[in-house]
Copies of this chain bind each other. A is one copy, B any other.
Amino acid sequence: MQSSPAIRIAFQGETGAFSEEAMQCLHPGAEGVPFPSFEKVFEALGSGAADQAVIPIENSLFGSVHECYDLLRVHDVSIIGELKLRIRHNLIGFSGASLEDIRVVRSHPQALGQCRRFLRMHLSSADVIAAYDTAGAVRELAQSGGPNEAAIGSTRAAAVYGLEILEAGIESNHQNYTRFLLLSPKQEMPPPVPDIRKDWKTSIVFSMRTNVPGALFKSLAVFALRELDLFKIESRPLVGSPGNYRFYLDVLGAASDKPVELALDHLREIASYLKVLGSYRSGKTQE
């Protein structure tokens, strides 16, 4: 069977970055298009340089990526999918190399920090050197490294650069997951349906008028009164505007489902700003 041309999915980072690993889980066979910044990823979606995009939105250790929320707010895009990916760091080297041979380890400082315990126990005499990027460290190792050198990076980075995983899952804290969102250019909502779709969720961003006592409580009432479960609620103080907040909220059901639609109409009555970022099927967790 002849396949159609691969869909092009923008991501931030280098080939082999965790965002690309997430992309491959969400869309096997898609063509990854790397960009140096999240802003460029969103611009690529707007200009048609990419058909879809994958961005990280929150991590179990480091919280929500407000920068991506800001870009979701100002660009005409829709969330169409999600995936939770376990961030598994691997010690990557040349085929046949063993731990005892390794004299130099390179990676992004955050990855090095997350593997501190392993490095101390098994590679205490090796030089630990910061790199700009986990995937970049693996690429450079493949291009110009030797058998006494290693890098810390994703399973995908080892595969794409033809290197070997010398030791898998070397991060100290295995409860390290990143939630990624799959984006497309702005989509029309599907037609309303009478009941809520149990495996869908809708993500919104909203603000309340200043100095409204219990404003957040009132905004949650629009969902609680309709017995709509929430997956996420987060307040974000607005810099330079004390007392003003933006809220991120994920609710069960699609925005076109009647109870969700009514709840959002109700929220619009009391909110000073509301944007529906998209409705999509709840994503699986990739271990």
- Residue numbers of A with Cβ under 8 A of B are 36-37, 58-67, 108-110, 112-113, 116, 128, 130-133, 175, 177, 213-214, 216-217, 220-221, 223-224, 227, 229-237, 239-240
- Assembled-state Cα–Cα distance A116/B223 (Å): 41
Contact, CB under 8 Å: B62 / A62:
yes
Contact, CB under 8 Å: A36 / B116:
yes
Tell me if A's interface is mostly helix, strand, loop or mixed.
mixed
Tell me how many chains of this kind the complex includes: 2
Known contacts A58-B63, A128-B132, A233-B233; 5 additional CB pairs below 8 A are A37-B113, A61-B66, A217-B224, A233-B235, A234-B234
Residues of chain B contacted by A214 (CB below 8 angstroms): 224, 227
- Assembled-state Cα–Cα distance A217/B233 (Å): 11
Q: Which of B108, B116, B133 contacts A37 (CB 8 A)?
A: B116
Residue on B nearest A57 in the bound complex, by CB? B63
Contact, CB under 8 Å: B175 / A240:
yes
Contact, CB under 8 Å: B216 / A230:
yes
